[in-house]
Structure 1
């Protein structure tokens, strides 16, 4: 495997701005000294993902992911250290000089990297065929120009063409040195089976005689393909997609997101369409904040992708009533994901692609402005028209709208939607609230393990929210969380919240509002009690990392002071011992041990610990200073912090040695050994008392 010289690695890390890099994948917002967003690695509705620009690291306080700029690319892409460095080098225009690699050396990289490499090669192969091959130009290029696409759009989305041959790609890839197993794993090549379904060992190209739409992940790497046949009488599907693979999971991909992510962020809006050509035509028409679900049903993974960049999504529909009906469930999922959803309809027979080509870019944009309506209002209009003058159908239509409102996590928005629905159907708002609470309670009771009295998240939490807002429902109707005269039950904490609360000093009674009943809280939900010695070593390393260059006295900085004090104190915890050694090495080479440097270390456990020690979930509010309330900072008390850390570490070591000596007294020994042991115990007790006195932890007699 080729290596990247250390000088180049240092240059890449020096130029890579973690805010810029992470900002390509999530929408960061400043809060205090750090930037915050919803985590791209797990589903959450409240931001717990923090980026510290000054330290060059990120940390999620929900799932625990943490590291520096290179680690972020490794995590988000699931790729190797070398590939992450190449990605950053490309972004910042840094030339990476590598030794020449044969195809065999390329494929010696890990499985995912090899699949990325072969997919990228296939994209280039198809793109070249579209532009330079006679068949590609006469069939593929002609079709794309017929659909109104220009050269710039074709290049931006790297469109291509696959020859109408059984083995064009297979032969070309083999000649280029790619292994067949990666062609099969990515779905570019298929094994032939006989009439009995037996594997014949023969292979052929999956895509033949089709226009190729490369599917990119959010960092621009090709992970799969969509392909449209151009044969009028072809019995196969009009569109054919790559199968699922290690690098392609269609439920976690939106076509065009790589090209649309920055426009979505700047416009604070995402347009959602169904097909590849919808994306291409709108992008070419100047509407660049557009993505497609590629004809598949909308998934939670795709919704989370949108929410990384914006809370606002507008769904563009054609005028087909059956298609709209089939898509309503997907929009309910958008609502449940916390997105603000609007809908735009086009005239019957038109989809976004055909309509923009028919009326032009400007009139299309005007239509988006005029025809856009809130989804709840849109659904209300749709189902009320279908119900017409039938009272039974009207009642069902109201319930359909209420089911969508129940998906909205924000209680204020739910209240507004209920008021809006009441006016639209001409029905008393309190009646709607009563019916809403019934639907929510029934949904909660039917849910796996659901308890109608437990509140919880989702529907049950929504119902209790309405009870508290409206003081109960009419007719003595009880709702989850208590009746009109009862105080609503507090929302139960998740195990993560419970563990965090306990870590910050809350008692079990505090978690339950003073009742003392832990409910479903189990011992497994709580963080294990940390080893005291490990915690002491951790604290020393933390001070060393955060304040290494801070002066304690003339010409004596924190790093020098701590390492000098620890000369005769070996660490017992492996990762902290290794970090201490790395800090010594940095200091010996004339450099201060810094978070920015150590967060790029090759060992994942070291990167993880550095990120953990260097990030803080909470910051002191500037209001304290505004109100002239002085709160001492650790930076102002560094000498005390360093001394206490050393003293505590020494005290724990003394206590451990004392325990070993006391245990030895319980076992038979000769008189000389026993006397020596007793003398050592006496000295250790004196040392323990002295250390306790220095720490201020001596308990006076009679206390």
Structure 2
């Protein structure tokens, strides 16, 4: 594996803006000091994914994913640490000197080797299209016939596979690629029992499939032999460690910026639909490549926009088969519009027929919200048949029930009522039945962590009285929490872990804050806890690292620990820096002054030290008490009792400083 110099790594991390990096994959919205979005790593309807620009970190309070810009690329792209650094270096135009010798390439891990092989295959097919006689006489005319310009062909790196059994396989093997990688990517089919190996793609035009960062992960291929009934029209790469078709949308790499800018994504079915629309100036378009739309593909679009416009071919049978995709989009919390083309046309054929300007006008004129589209579709089918009409209405309500937003549900129920001429209350009753059934089914499922965006969000303050009540409730809850922790909690190890965590959190968050002139919080806390042995492994590691940094003459900074070689340490540090809630700006509007923890560092650091010491003393008392029944000699018993008495006196002294009453 090629190594990157530390100074270059530091430069990459310094220049990588967490908001820009995450913003390439997720549509962020500012709430308070941080930015929020639905998590790109797990399915959720309310945003719990937070980005803190001032700390350079992200944190999902639902699934727990956390880290800095490098870790985000590793998580979202599934790459190694080095590959993530390379990605960021390319983004920020930072030069990386690395060994490109055959030995270094050979040393790449298996996943990277598959990427390298896929890139080689793409270049091979591009070269075959432009520089091979067969490609020029067969492949190029096909693209020309479909109206594709040289610029579009180059932009999407279209190619051609020669009509030969093993021309590509031979070329790849001669370049030093291992046969097992050729088989794993599906580029070569190996028949072990027959001792044969041959190209999967032969005599086809090639459409490279890329992930969101632009790396080639697979291929779609169309045959040009219209008279060959045995050969399928389209052949795609099989699933591999780098290609999962349910997670990928064709054209997303080229479309993502436009999708974010237009705040809308056009969803089509085929490769040529994407290419023709792109060429016509509609760049915010992606394709499901002939497969049924999946939850992960919807989540991928949701990173960039909450609005999807589905472009349907004018084929009623195909439309009915695709309607499940609309329900999935609704369930994912996205907004759906639909455009239906005239019978016999698809987006590719229609834009070539009417031209770019007329096509764009058609999209604007014929775009319908999903409820109008689906209602009209079912209404035509039902006509005067009351049973079919009832089934159609029920189908509509099932779709509306998928929508997580209550206001949108209400609006669509009213719209459905008007379209079908049925009492709105009947639809509401039907919705309630569906909702109750879903609730019963979900009771066996684990509950999801709460996240911002609910009705209790601190970003939407109400009246002064509501805020005062909220403050009183929050204060009562905090008091109850501490009372339970300090006086009623029996799980000593759990409480001790919490106290150790809070000490480390305080040190990392306020390492350079002064508690008094010339003494920082980290220096004070590490000095006061010099004789304390941390029991929780992860916090012991962090405490020892902090102490080591201080001994070396440096303050223990969180940013340095976020680059630690151990993922557990990187993740925990980000977790300690993350804040799930912020005070609403409405408090200041009502002149309610609530001091932040950062304003009380001196008080807080002393208190966290005392709390940890108090818990350690309690644990020591318990350990001594547990030994009493096993003591047989009077001298040992007397010594232990005196130790317990001294520890209890120390416990009381600390409790007095904390303002806690110790029951006897």
Q: Is TM (by shorter chain) over 0.5? A: yes
Matches within 5 A, 1:46-57: 46-57=46-57
Q: Distance in 2 between matches of 1:432 and 1:698?
A: 59
In structure 2, C-alpha distance between the alignment counterparts of 1:158 and 1:99, rounded to whole Å: 27
For 2:613, the equivalent position in structure 1 comes to: 650
Distance 1:160 1:422 in 2: 52
Alpha carbons of 1:169 and 1:699: their partners in 2 closer, same or farther (altered >3 Å)?
Answer: same
1:141 to 1:589, Cα distance in 2 relative to 1, 3 A: farther
When the two chains are superposed, the root-mean-square deviation of aligned CA atoms in Å is 2.6
How far apart, in 2, do the equivalents of 1:577 and 1:145 lie? 66
Q: Which residue of structure 2 aligns with residue 83 of structure 1?
A: 83
Count the aligned residue pairs: 627
* Residues in 1 aligned to 2:449 and 2:151: alpha-carbon distance in whole angstroms: 50
Given that 2:374 and 2:396 are in contact with CA atoms closer than 8 Å, whether structure 1 keeps it comes out as yes
> Residue deviations 1:421-446, cap 9 Å, x none?
332233343444455556x27xx65x
Partner of 2:205: 211
Distance 2:657 2:424 in 1: 69
Helix, strand or coil for the counterpart of 2:544?
Answer: helix
How far apart, CA to CA, are the structure 2 residues paired with 1:272 and 1:577?
51
Q: State how far apart, in whole Å, the 1-side matches of 2:631 and 2:492 are.
A: 34
1:280 and 2:269 correspond: no
Higher deviation after alignment, 586-595 or 312-321: 586-595
Partners of 2:22 and 2:527 in 1: CA distance = 38
**Counterpart for residue 11 of structure 2:** 11
1:157 has 2:156 as partner: yes
On the 8 A contact 1:583/1:593 being kept in 2, the answer is yes
Q: Is the 8 A contact 1:2 1:101 kept in 2?
A: no
Equivalent-residue separation in structure 2 for 1:613 and 1:437 (angstroms): 42
The separation in 2 between residues aligned to 1:687 and 1:184, in whole angstroms, is: 69
Question: Is the 2:514–2:602 Cα contact (8 Å) retained in structure 1?
Answer: no
CA contact (8 A) 1:224 1:242 kept: yes
CA–CA distance in 1 between the matches of 2:313 and 2:377? 14
| Deviation of 1:372 (Å) | 1.0
1:604 and 2:567 correspond: yes
Q: Which residue of 2 aligns with 1:470?
A: none
Instruction: Please give the secondary structure, in 2, of the residue aligned with 1:42.
Output: coil
State the secondary structure of the residue aligned to 1:681. helix
Q: Which residue of 1 aligns with 2:136?
A: 137
d(CA) in 2 for partners of 1:666 and 1:433? Answer: 67
Secondary structure in 2 aligned to 1:271?
strand
Distance 1:127 1:590, change over 3 A: farther
Q: Are residues 1:639 and 2:639 paired?
A: no
Match of residue 328 from structure 2: 333
Deviation string, structure 1 residues 15-43 (Cα, Å, up to 9, x no partner): 11111111111101111111100000100
Deviates more, 1:664-673 or 1:366-375: 664-673
**Correspondence for 2:516:** 553
**2-side partners of 1:72 and 1:335: how far apart?**
27
Greater Cα offset, 626-635 or 402-411: 402-411
**1:124 match:** 123
| Pairing 1:355–2:350 present | yes
Query: What SS does the corresponding residue of 2:87 show, helix, strand or coil?
Result: helix
Q: Secondary structure at the match of 1:277?
A: helix
Bigger Cα displacement from structure 2, 680-689 vs 241-250: 680-689
- What is the distance in 1 between the residues matched to 2:539 and 2:390? 66
Report the counterpart of residue 184 of structure 2 in structure 1. Answer: 185
Q: Secondary structure at 1:680's aligned position in 2? A: helix
Q: How far 1:594 moved relative to its partner?
A: 2.4
In 2 relative to 1, CA 586–362 (structure 1 residues): closer, same or farther, beyond 3 Å?
farther
Q: Which runs of 5+ in 2 are unaligned?
A: 455-472, 474-490
| Preserved CA contact (<8 Å) 1:272 1:315 | yes
Distance 1:555 1:9 in 2: 32
Give distance in 2, aligned partners of 1:667 and 1:396: 76
Partner of 1:22: 22
8 Å Cα contact 2:62-2:449 kept in structure 1:
no
The match for 1:694 is: 657
Supply the distance in 1 between the matched residues of 2:571 and 2:557 (Cα, whole angstroms).
Answer: 15
Residues 592 and 357 of structure 1, relative CA distance in 2, 3 Å threshold = farther
Hey, what's the Cα distance between the residues in 2 that align with 1:435 and 1:680?
A: 70
CA deviation digits over 1:508-547, x for unaligned, max 9? xx9xxxxxxxxxxxxxxxxx98622222221111111001
Instruction: Tell me the equivalent position of 1:685.
Output: 648
Structure 1 residue 171: Cα displacement: 1.2
CA distance in 2, matches of 1:4, 1:59: 27
5 Å-filtered alignment, 1:454-533, equals: 454=439, 495-497=447-449, 531-533=494-496
1:201 aligns with 2:195: yes
Q: Is it true that 1:258 corresponds to 2:253 in the alignment?
A: yes
Contact 2:276 2:348 in 1 (8 A): yes
1:86-141 Cα distance to aligned partner (Å, 9 max, x none): 11111111111112332x54344333222222212212222222222222222222
Aligned counterpart, 2:34: 34
Q: 1:51–1:499: structure 2 CA closer, same or farther, 3 Å change rule?
A: closer
Residue 92 of structure 1 pairs with residue 92 of structure 2: yes
Mapped contact 1:260–1:291 kept (Cα < 8 A): yes
Q: TM-score, normalised by structure 2?
A: 0.89
**Corresponding position of 1:169:** 168
User: Of residues 215, 222, 230 in structure 2, which corresponds to 1:221?
Assistant: 215
Is the 1:654–1:684 Cα contact (8 Å) retained in structure 2?
yes
CA 1:530–1:273 in structure 2 vs 1: closer, same or farther (change >3 Å)?
farther
Deviation at 1:232, TM superposition (A): 2.7
1:248 aligns with 2:222: no
Moved more, 561-570 or 182-191: 561-570
1:494, CA displacement in angstroms? Answer: 5.3
Residues 409/673 of structure 1: CA separation in 2 closer, same or farther (3 Å cut) = closer
Query: Which stretches in structure 1 are left out of the alignment for 5+ residues?
Result: 194-198, 458-490, 502-509, 511-527
Pairing partner for 1:401 from 396, 404, 407: 396
Please give the residue correspondences for 1:224-239 in structure 2 after superposition, counting only pairs within 5 Å.
224-234=218-228, 235-239=230-234
Give how far 1:685 is off: 2.8
CA-to-partner distance for each residue in 1:166-195, whole Å, 9 max, x for gaps?
A: 1122111111211111111111111137xx
Equivalent residue, structure 1, for 2:65: 65
Q: Secondary structure at the match of 1:346?
A: strand
What is the distance in 1 between the residues matched to 2:650 and 2:535?
A: 20
Tell whether 2:536 aligns with 1:576.
Answer: no
Task: Determine if contact 1:49/1:62 at 8 Å carries over to the other structure.
Answer: yes
Give secondary structure in 2 for the equivalent of 1:367. helix
Q: Deviations over 1:398-434 (max 9, x none)?
A: 3333333333333332332232233223334344445
Q: Give the Å deviation of 1:380.
A: 1.8
Give the equivalent residue in structure 2 for 1:592. 555
Question: How far did 1:158 drift?
Answer: 1.8
Q: CA deviation at 1:677?
A: 3.7
Change (3 A) 1:400 1:575: closer
- What CA distance in whole angstroms lies between the structure 2 residues aligned with 1:140 and 1:59? 48
Give deviations 1:27-62, integer Å, cap 9, x for gaps. 011111111000001000100001111111111111
Answer yes or no: is the 8 Å Cα contact 1:57–1:596 preserved in 2: no
Aligned to 1:521: none
Q: Is the 8 Å Cα contact of residues 652 and 662 (structure 2) preserved in structure 1?
A: no
